[in-house]
Amino acid sequence: MNTKRSVEYWVIPPEADAEFAAHMEDVLEVYSRPYDPEVPVLCMDEQPVQLVEEVRQTIAATRSHPKRVDYEYRRAGVANIFMFAEPLAAWRQVSVRTQKTKADWALEMGALMEGRYAACEKVIVVCDNLNTHTIRAFYEVFSPERASSRKRRCRNSVASGMRTPATSTPNALF
């Protein structure tokens, strides 16, 4: 069946109020900055995924038909994908964890702050406002000294504690 329909996908906020607009302006201002390797802009998002196993052996492709994979599968658990990107440096990193918690977020951010961004004075992080993406998570996972170091270099200046359960508004952390 060949259809000619076209679908465009957009993030449509349930209520584009003044707070939403203010956060979007902050994010757009961050994106308009020129590249600064001492203060990089790091974008992050995460995605839960279902892991599956094949139930039946696939049939290899031949000259007369493509590879054939049966639609039946066995559920093999779940994972959480963390995607980090620094667009102006043409860099990205993907990490996989078994779950999505504040601790997982803090550990991923901590590894970047102590690794790739160890020499940076500040890192601007753009992410959504999930309750797992908080400065508080650093204090729940790391010693007070390490948590404080991360907070100083990656501090939330948009709206501390902006957590609206019905939306996933972009948030810039400075």
**Which of residues 116 and 151 earns the better pLDDT score?**
116
Beta bridge partners of 97: 80
Given a contact cutoff of 8 angstroms between Cβ atoms, the answer to whether 123 and 40 are in contact is yes
- pLDDT tens digits, residue range 18-29? 877 787 888 888
pTM for the full predicted model? 0.74
- pLDDT tens digits, residue range 71-114? 899 999 999 999 999 999 999 999 999 998 999 999 999 999 99
> Tell me, what's the pLDDT at 17?
75
Distance between CA atoms of residues 101 and 104, nearest Å: 5
Dihedral Cα 148, 140, 49, 60, nearest 10 deg? 80
Give the mean pLDDT of 141-162.
72
Beta strands in 41-165 (DSSP E): 41-54, 73-86, 91-97, 124-128
CA-to-CA dists, residue 155 to 55, 56, 67, 121, angstroms:
48, 50, 50, 12
**Which of residues 43 and 154 earns the better pLDDT score?**
43
Given a contact cutoff of 8 angstroms between Cβ atoms, the answer to whether 135 and 155 are in contact is yes
Provide the residue type at 163 as one letter: R
Q: State the maximum Cα–Cα separation within the chain, in Å, rounded to a whole number.
A: 64
Burial class (CB in 10 A: 0-12, 13-18, 19+), 106: buried
